[in-house]
Amino acid sequence: MLTENTSIEAFIDALPKVELHVHLVGSASVPTVLELARRHPDGPVPLDERELRSFYRFRDFPHFAEVYESVSSLVRTPEDVATLVLGTARDLAAQNVRYVELTVTPYTHQRAGMPMPAITEALDRAVREAREAHGVRVAYIFDIPTEFGAEAARRTLDHALTHPPEALVGFGLAGIEQCRPPHRDTYREAFAAARAAGLRSLPHGGEMSGPEMIWENIEGLRAERIGHGISCLDDPRLVAHLRETQIPLEVCPTSNVCTGQVASLAEHPLPRLLEAGLFVTLNSDDPPMFDTTLTGEYRAAAEVFGLDRAALAALARNAVTASSLDAAARQAIIEEIDAL
């Protein structure tokens, strides 16, 4: 049982958590990536652990995207897809994570030659096995990789509408934000169709671009949550809107530092987002690639920004509230958090 003398580290370890912003390929731990690399040795990813860790040192976001694509190229079969999901569930279970909304980019798997029904079958099977083996509930977000433009949007939407996994809850948009403007109308149409099918609008925005991208997410894509969103602070009108509407921001501090969007953790705008009264959740994005975990993000929030137990518990509650869990499941996790 936790007491007032329990360390903040032990409190964070015991805190029930929900992860809302983590990518399937980016969530692959080093052992999982090595397994895939050795399974497909003709790929561009190092087969040695030391070389792989060096491979994960990023110069900037485009370099990160290049490395991410290299790792993604190792995912060639439905079994590879299931391996990633189960590896993620195992790693999250060890951090007391109860539920995860895992972002999948099905277009990259389609390009590798996997048929949509086979991808979906692997995702469905992994959900069942993750719950049975690790006690973690897995849901999926299908996202469009902006680097591949309109074709990726069309094929991602087609997959979401015609062969959706049972646990598909959301539709997203990720990748290099500067690639979006030429395909703005295509993305708007795709998101409108996804919303009409009952999927939540959960795009990235405001990570490597300014507030205008967040506005487009809100006004053009009808976003229910914003992936990252940290550049909102550059626009007082946007901050006021986010404060009034309480649209959740999926904030990923270590990721922002590793991809060069923020100079250091100490300079991360997380404290200012909280001071502005915005709805913030903590997330890990691509944890092994950034040498972090969801637990590590909570520890950084305590150590670097001085957040106390109450503030950390509030962030954990926010993630539950912003999730796609049903009301009863949300309440059960919130009661666990409150019990601490």
Residue boundaries of the structural domains of the chain:
14-339
Q: What is the CA radius of gyration of the chain?
A: 19
Backbone angles phi, psi at 170, to 5 degrees: -145, 165
> In this predicted structure, what is the pLDDT of residue 57?
80
Q: How remote is the C-alpha of 230 from its chain's centroid?
A: 15
DSSP string, 184-224: HHHHHHHHHHHHHTT-EE--EESSSS-HHHHHHHHHTS--S
Distance CA 93, CA 131 (A): 10
Q: Annotated active-site positions, please?
A: 207
Taking the alpha carbons at both ends of the chain, their separation in whole angstroms is: 9
Distance CA 272, CA 274 (A): 5
> In this predicted structure, what is the pLDDT of residue 20?
98
Contact 85, 109 (CB under 8 A): no
Q: How remote is the C-alpha of 35 from its chain's centroid?
A: 22
Distance CA 314, CA 326 (A): 19
* Cα separations in angstroms, 220 against 61, 74, 245, 331: 25, 34, 16, 32
Look up tokens 């950084």; give the residue.
Answer: 300
Low-confidence ranges of the chain (pLDDT < 70): 1-3
What residues does 168 pair with on adjacent strands? 140
DSSP string, 218-262: HHTS--SSEEE-GGGGG-HHHHHHHHHHT--EEE-HHHHHHTTSS
What global pTM score does this model have?
A: 0.93
> In this predicted structure, what is the pLDDT of residue 3?
66
Q: Supply 11's token pair.
A: 């409190």
Q: How remote is the C-alpha of 43 from its chain's centroid?
A: 25
> In this predicted structure, what is the pLDDT of residue 141?
98
Fold of 14-339: TIM Barrel (3.20.20)
> In this predicted structure, what is the pLDDT of residue 1?
58
> In this predicted structure, what is the pLDDT of residue 272?
98
Contact 15, 9 (CB under 8 A): no
Distance CA 228, CA 301 (A): 16
